Amino acid sequence: MRDVLLNHQLWWLAMLMLIIFVAGFFQSAAGFGFALFAVPVGAMIVTPRAIVVSVFLTSCVISLVLTRTQREHIVWTEAKRLSAGAILAMPFGVWLLQAGSASMLRLILGTSTTAAALWSLGMTRRLRRPWVDANLFGGLVGAVSGVLNTSLATNGPPLVIYLQGRQLTPEQFRATISLVFSISNAVGLVMLLGGGAIRVVDVELFATTLLAAAAGTTLGVRQIAKIHKRHFELMVNILLLLGGMTSLARVLFI
């Protein structure tokens, strides 16, 4: 596994576990944010390809657990619409992961993360948007998330924007997006395995950080009622913005 570490020192692995712990906390408390935080920040420690695959594997586990615990709040119409689009577009994401260079992956994930964070920070009202009512638009959003899922393991931004426009309750939002994540991850996992995109070293990295992800997820579930919603969203978006800008800085200046 040491061949994927950008710095051949074991304490960097400890730093990666801390990143995964924090990302797990975000995911369980907000319903999203695991890959958005873990991928760009983790790419400072391990190669972009390795962090994408290992985070994807970890997301499979977390989303299944969260879906099971919140299943009574799922909005099935929205989940089906988004999942259908995601499944159809995932093969392109697999191709992009296989063909993309490390610098290109950093650029894409840095740009997408920064854009998503800036959008969230700049949004002051959550009005119902007329353009999110169309079935076709929901399918297109799902397709974009599918490509991002199998190529960068960061399919959250388009789903978050869409579901915020639908004005779901926090419980409905977390449950519905967790189900979409679960379905997308299950199908994406089959595609990645079929395409030979998952290596032994990726599984090793996933296994090494899984306990940290579980601990962070558990803490988030227990603390969610104690965190003021507005303060938590601000904290998450600032961290995401810093993560995206860090990835862009590595492409542009390193």
Residue 123, C-beta contacts closer than 8 angstroms, at least 6 positions apart: 164
- pLDDT band at 254; cut points 50, 70, 90: low
Strand-pairing partners, residue 5, are 46
- pLDDT band at 97; cut points 50, 70, 90: confident
In 3D space, the residue among 145, 119, 125, 152 whose CA is nearest the CA of residue 237 turns out to be 119
| Percent of the chain surpassing pLDDT 70 | 84
Query: Rounded to 5 degrees, what angle do the CA atoms 27, 28, 31 make?
Result: 60
Output the DSSP codes for 119-148: HHHH----PPPGGGS-HHHHHHHHHHHHHH
Q: Is the confidence at residue 41, as pLDDT, over 80?
A: yes
The domain total for the chain is 1
Q: Say what angle helices 48-69 and 200-223 make with each other, to 10 degrees.
A: 40
| Percent of the chain surpassing pLDDT 90 | 27
Determine the residue type at 142. G
Output the DSSP codes for 69-86: HTGGG--HHHHHHHHHHH
Q: Is the confidence at residue 78, as pLDDT, over 90?
A: yes
pLDDT at 237: 74
In 3D space, the residue among 46, 107, 49, 116 whose CA is nearest the CA of residue 246 turns out to be 107
Kindly report the pTM of this predicted structure. Answer: 0.79
Q: Regarding predicted confidence, which is higher, 112 or 61?
A: 61
Q: Within a 10 A sphere around the Cβ of 76, how many other Cβ atoms?
A: 9
pLDDT at 229: 65
Q: What is the pLDDT of residues 168-207, one digit of tens each?
A: 877 888 899 999 999 998 998 888 888 787 888 888 889 9
Residue 88 domain boundaries: 2-253
